[in-house]
Amino acid sequence: MNNFERTYLESTETERVMGFHWYQDQHNYLRDMAEHFDVKLDVVCGITAALSPMISWQENLNMTYHVLKFKGRVPSNVKMPGFKINVQKAIKIYRNKEVFPHLNGPKVTQFYQNLLNPFDCESVTIDTFMIACYYQADKYGVKKYSTERWVEFLKSEIRTLSWRYGLLPLQFQAIVWLAYHRIVRSMGSYGSQLNLKVF
């Protein structure tokens, strides 16, 4: 039993329900936003994915809204947290009305696919939380295991476990993410402090 499975088994009923529907719910929200601003859904999903690293989901949605509302010309007095380069990528996606080649990187491209197609049977979003969960790694360990080789391995683990529990890979990933986030918050930090072991 690995730490993805251990964390899944420690998830609450609420986390399982929320995780099961998470990508579908966010897809619907972004679809409504796309219709409101008359922008293609894939572009809105691309903007959202580009902005996503190292910010909360609510911040992510707010920033996507601002990029759309201000038509890629966000005023300087509007708060846009996260990395400046990601904001620039999001603006390029909006202005060019195409996701690629502006969107790149294993985490954000998979996140884009999951947001665009919440019934995807292959794509799996692996972020730093998921890496920390599996390897019980601190921030230095997370960096070590962020290479393509290890990310592909973790995606494979998620796929295997998802079918075992009758879920789509993205559903299993979302449940594990929510459960691990709760555990981390209760412990105060993530990584080696948690009493989970890899077997």
Question: What residues have CB less than 8 Å from 47, skipping those under 6 apart?
Answer: 64, 67, 68, 90, 93, 94
Residue with tokens 């966010």: 26
What confidence score (pLDDT) does residue 198 get? 34
pTM tops 0.85: yes
Q: Quick check: 103 pLDDT over 90?
A: yes
Tokens (6 digits) for 52: 């996503």
Q: What is the DSSP track for 91-115?
A: HHHHHHT--TTT--SHHHHHHHHHH
Q: Quick check: 41 pLDDT over 70?
A: yes
Q: Residues of the chain with pLDDT > 90: what percent?
A: 80
Quickly state the pLDDT bin for 189 (edges 50, 70, 90): low
The overall average pLDDT reported for the chain is 91
